[in-house]
């Protein structure tokens, strides 16, 4: 209804102004008025925004073009120019509206129809301006194809398109400018047919080209997608694209604040491009992120490192001032020392591996890091379940001062964090000899000044809870003497797997995760033949230290005494039965059966002797083992009781 009132009012105004009817402006306005009223009416009828009717409006421009061509052949040919202008204005309006439409809507048909209108008008009227408009329409149509393909360089293409449009417009305007200047006598200065004019035009053209190309290059090279032009940047771009910094351009971090640093960064980038193209690398390209970049205004500039305490992994208290300001372990650290690129699928993130590399580096065979376990870990308040058994730290540790975390949580690290020559050569290309004489200078160059993260040089140090068998395997001091690595007698007795045919029965301390060094804490010098070495011993005192009651130490002594008595009882019996078997005269099948039983008993007994702990490693298991030895000895005696004992010929044994 409002549209009808407005249209009627406009018609009334035109009707009351008959003197305007013969003017070009009136005729063009009438054509545009009819077109826009039709478009708005369709939009209101369809309950849609008017831009969605642009497709029909651009077809109206073709209609006005055709009407103008028809009218030009009649007596009303004065209207033809007005209709042509109306068609041009509608085509231009539709192109401008659709230029800002989302790519998914497909704007290229609008530009194509507009181009058809401008091409027709160029042929009909022979005006250069329509050639210019035709060029713009075709360019916008091509740009729409690129935009619909979601190219990351779309904004750069649009920038280039705008520059090209301005230059093209200048070409069409220049003749009019020359004619205007000709009246002032300045034409020879700009005439390309004179030497001075040609030189001046060339200088101006080159200057404009350099200025425009430089501006475009600055914009292009500042775009993160440009970084992927080098083949080795793909993984870094992908991690940045999915990180918390995905809205921050690369140069915001990799260039320090300030125009001077930006220029230096651009020059450095140009040098890298030249090296990349010419294959003249002498070292791996590296990207430095300074603390100033992180603390620039609008980023992390408002962080108060002296007050803020963060929780890493939800439980580890962390303060920046202790790491950035106090030079831990005498090393000057930077933001990217911890916030490196070591987390897969992320960018500038903190990896727990980086923390471990610093806190455990140089600790050798020590089970704990710099500080103590409670620096990062908290004692569980509730009981935990390990190997199917419930365990309460609070109850167990109550009133016990001699118990350390490493008594149970032993060998929880793997790796030394050493710096290998291979890692050096991954950056320093083509260098056969790489020597590090001054470690302090090495760290100053690569970390304090070079802003490398730890794992770019150091091998990884792993830290965490590992299965018991892996803890035993990692106990290098134990396996040095107890041969067979993870299959040594002591480990297999501890794990309850030493004898075949018996149910696996690990010791209760094995189930609790106590490794060798949890009990073997007394370091003493000892000798083996002519070789002197240090060894770690254990005894009743270690039992009391953890369990807190003397009866646990007495219990160990009772186990060991009982085991000694069993060995002293069964070993002579096995030896005696073996001698009798060699001289016995009996059926072959019975001799073979007794031989098998004696061999089994001797093997089990040897396991107990070779273990050497006399029950400390797994008393219930060894007790069961000795019980089976006794059964097998009794079975042998029972079978041999009815045998005749005269000496047998040696060949019949």
Pick 279 or 504 by higher pLDDT: 504
- pLDDT at position 476: 47
CA atoms within a 13 Å half-sphere pointing along the CA-CB vector of 591: 16
Over 80: is that where the pLDDT of 90 sits?
yes
Candidate from 111-115, 149-153, 516-520, 559-563 with smallest mean pLDDT: 149-153
Are the CB atoms for 245 and 347 separated by under 8 Å? yes
Place of tokens 């009651």: 549
| Start-end of H helices in 445-587 | 468-474, 476-481, 489-495, 508-511, 516-519, 540-547, 550-583
Cα gap 491→509, rounded to integer Å:
12
| pLDDT at site 124 | 86
Half-sphere CA count of 210, side-chain side, radius 13 A: 6
Classify residue 585 by its DSSP letter: B
pLDDT in tens, 253-301: 888 888 888 888 888 877 877 777 776 666 666 677 888 888 888 888 7
Q: Are 364 and 477 in contact (CB under 8 A)?
A: no
Q: How far apart are CA 648 and CA 586, in angstroms?
A: 10
Higher pLDDT, residue 501 or 217: 501
Using CA atoms, how far apart are residues 565 and 622, in angstroms rounded to an integer? 13
pLDDT band for position 104 (cuts 50, 70, 90): very low
Q: Are 554 and 544 in contact (CB under 8 A)?
A: no
Query: Is 389:438 a contact under the CB 8 Å cutoff?
Result: no
Residue 653 pLDDT more than 50? no
Phi, psi of 458 (to 5 degrees): -85, 145
Let me know the angle formed at the C-alpha of 527 by 521 and 530, rounded to the nearest 5 degrees.
155
Cα–chain center distance at 546: 43
Residue 625, judged by CB atoms within 10 A of its CB (0-12, 13-18, 19+), counts as: buried
Tell which residue, 545, 510, 548, 542, has the closest CA to residue 523: 542
**CA 490/CA 536 separation, integer angstroms:** 14
What's the pLDDT score for residue 652?
Answer: 47
Query: Which one, of 520, 626, 502, lies nearest residue 574 by Cα?
Result: 626
Report helix, strand or coil for 644. strand
- DSSP, collapsed to helix, strand or coil, labels residue 537 as strand
Between 45 and 432, the higher pLDDT residue: 45
Selection from 67, 71, 107 nearest residue 87 by Cα: 67
Q: Is the pLDDT of residue 616 over 50?
A: yes
Domains annotated on the chain, with CATH: 2-225 (no CATH), 235-367+411-465 (no CATH), 468-640 (1.20.140.10)
Q: Is the pLDDT of residue 138 over 80?
A: no
Instruction: Report the pLDDT value the prediction gives residue 650, as an integer from 0 to 100.
Output: 47
CA distances from 14 to 23, 41, 270 (A): 12, 20, 65
SS3 label, residue 419? strand
- Residue in 163, 160, 157, 119 with CA at minimum distance from that of residue 138: 119
Q: CA-to-CA distance for 435 and 449, rounded, in angstroms?
A: 19
Cα–Cα distances in angstroms (integers) from residue 644 to residues 580, 639, 653, in the given order? 11, 11, 14
**Helix/strand/coil for 340:** strand
pLDDT reading at 603 higher than 50:
yes
Q: What is the pLDDT of residue 158?
A: 58
Percent of the chain with pLDDT over 70: 67
Q: What is the pLDDT of residues 167-189, one digit of tens each?
A: 666 666 666 666 665 665 554 44
Apex 561 CA angle, 559 and 564, nearest 5: 110
pLDDT in tens, 332-369: 777 877 777 545 556 677 777 778 777 877 765 555 66
pLDDT digits (tens, 9 = 90+) for 551-565: 888 888 888 899 999
pLDDT at 644: 58
Both tokens assigned to 529: 């033949």
Please write the tens of the pLDDT for every residue from 565-586: 999 998 998 888 888 888 777 7
Mean pLDDT, residues 625-632 taken together = 90
Strands (E), 338-495: 339-340, 349-350, 384-386, 389-391, 413-414, 462-463
Cβ contacts of residue 399 below 8 Å, gap of 6+?
A: 548
Residue 445 clears pLDDT 80, i.e. is over it: no
Helical axes 550-583 vs 540-547, angle rounded to 10°: 140
pLDDT digits (tens, 9 = 90+) for 305-318: 777 777 777 777 78
- pLDDT band at residue 230 under the 50/70/90 scheme: confident
Determine which helix (DSSP H) or strand (DSSP E) holds 312, and give its type and residue range.
Answer: strand 310-312
pLDDT digits (tens, 9 = 90+) for 383-435: 887 666 677 888 877 776 667 777 677 667 777 777 777 777 667 765 666 66
Stronger pLDDT, 464 or 22, i.e. the higher one: 464
Percentage with pLDDT > 90 across the chain: 0
Which pLDDT band, with edges at 50, 70 and 90, does 478 fall under? Answer: low
Count other C-beta atoms under 10 Å from residue 190's C-beta. Answer: 17
How far is it, in rounded angstroms, from Cα 142 to Cα 323?
54
Give the span between the Cα atoms of 513 and 475, in whole angstroms.
13
Residue 484 has what pLDDT?
A: 47
Give the pLDDT score at 468: 56
| Mean local confidence (pLDDT), 38-47 | 70
**pLDDT for 103:** 46
Confidence band for 202, pLDDT divided at 50, 70 and 90: confident
Residue 116 has pLDDT above 80, yes or no: yes
The mean pLDDT value for 584-597 works out to 84
- Spatial separation of the C-alpha atoms in residues 579 and 602, rounded to whole Å: 13
Count of other CB atoms within 10 angstroms of residue 228? 15
pLDDT band at 536 (very low <50, low <70, confident <90, very high): confident
Q: What is the pLDDT of residue 77?
A: 79
User: Is the model more confident about 496 or about 645?
Assistant: 496
Q: What is the pLDDT of residue 205?
A: 73
Q: Using alpha carbons, select from 440, 485, 497 the residue that is nearest to residue 622.
A: 497
């Amino acid at each position: 209804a409002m549209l009808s009132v407005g249209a009627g009012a406009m018609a009334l105004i035109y009707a009351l102004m008959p003197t305007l009817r013969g003017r070009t402006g009136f005729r063009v306005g009438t054509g545009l008025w009819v077109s826009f009223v039709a478009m708005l009416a369709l939009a209101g009828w369809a309950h849609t925004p008017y831009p969605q009717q642009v497709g029909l409006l651009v077809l109206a421009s073709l209609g006005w073009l055709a009407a103008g061509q028809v009218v030009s052949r009649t007596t009303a040919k004065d209207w033809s120019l007005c209709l042509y202008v109306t068609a041009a204005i509608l085509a231009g309006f539709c192109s401008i509206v659709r230029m800002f439409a989302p790519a998914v809507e497909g704007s290229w048909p609008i530009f194509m129809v507009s181009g058809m209108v401008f091409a027709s008008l160029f042929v009909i009227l022979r005006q250069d301006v329509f050639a210019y408009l035709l060029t713009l329409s075709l360019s916008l149509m091509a740009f729409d194809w690129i935009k619909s393909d979601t190219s990351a360089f779309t904004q750069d293409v649009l920038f280039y398109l705008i520059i090209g449009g301005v230059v093209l417009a200048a070409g069409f305007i220049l003749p009019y400018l020359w004619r205007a200047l000709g009246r002032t006598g300045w034409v020879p200065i700009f005439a390309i047919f004179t030497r001075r004019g040609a030189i001046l035009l060339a200088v101006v053209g080159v200057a404009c080209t350099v200025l425009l190309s430089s501006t475009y290059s600055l914009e292009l090279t500042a775009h993160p997608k440009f970084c992927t032009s080098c083949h080795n940047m793909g993984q870094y771009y992908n991690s940045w694209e999915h990180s918390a910094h995905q809205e921050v351009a690369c140069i915001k971090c990799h260039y320090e604040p300030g125009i001077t640093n930006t220029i230096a960064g651009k020059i450095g980038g140009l040098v890298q491009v030249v090296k990349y193209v010419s294959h003249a690398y002498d070292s791996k390209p590296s990207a430095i992120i300074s603390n100033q970049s992180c603390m620039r205004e609008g980023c992390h500039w408002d962080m108060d490192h002296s007050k803020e305490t963060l929780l890493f992994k939800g439980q580890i208290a962390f303060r920046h001032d202790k790491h950035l300001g106090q030079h831990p372990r005498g090393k000057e650290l930077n933001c990217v020392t911890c916030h490196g690129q070591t987390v897969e699928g992320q960018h500038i993130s903190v990896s727990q591996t980086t923390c471990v590399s610093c806190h455990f580096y140089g600790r050798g065979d020590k089970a704990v890091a710099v500080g103590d376990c409670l620096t990062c870990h908290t004692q569980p308040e509730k009981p935990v379940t390990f190997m199917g058994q419930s365990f309460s730290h609070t109850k167990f540790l109550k009133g016990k001062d001699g118990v350390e975390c490493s008594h149970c949580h032993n060998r929880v690290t793997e790796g030394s964090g050493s710096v290998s020559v291979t890692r050096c050569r991954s950056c320093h290309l083509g260098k056969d000899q790489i020597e590090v004489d001054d470690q302090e200078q090495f760290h100053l160059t690569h970390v304090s000044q070079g802003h490398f993260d730890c794992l770019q040089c150091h091998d990884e140090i792993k830290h965490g809870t590992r299965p018991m068998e892996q803890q035993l395997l990692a106990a290098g001091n134990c396996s040095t003497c107890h041969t067979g690595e993870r299959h040594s007698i002591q480990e297999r007795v501890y794990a309850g797997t030493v004898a075949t045919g018996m149910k696996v029965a690990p010791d209760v301390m094995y189930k609790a995760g106590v490794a060798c060094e949890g009990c073997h804490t007394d370091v003493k010098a000892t000798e083996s033949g002519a070789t002197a070495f240090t060894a770690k011993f254990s005894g009743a005192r270690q039992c009391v230290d953890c369990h807190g009651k003397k009866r646990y130490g007495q219990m160990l002594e009772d186990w060991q005494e009982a085991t000694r008595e069993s060995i002293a009882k069964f070993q002579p019996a096995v030896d005696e039965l073996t001698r009798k078997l060699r001289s016995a005269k009996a059926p072959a099948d019975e001799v073979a059966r007794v031989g098998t039983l004696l061999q089994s008993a001797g093997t089990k007994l040897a396991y107990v002797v070779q273990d050497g702990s006399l029950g400390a490693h797994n008393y219930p298991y060894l007790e069961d083992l000795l019980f089976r030895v006794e059964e097998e000895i009794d079975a042998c005696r029972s079978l041999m009781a009815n045998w005749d004992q005269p000496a047998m010929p040696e060949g019949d044994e």
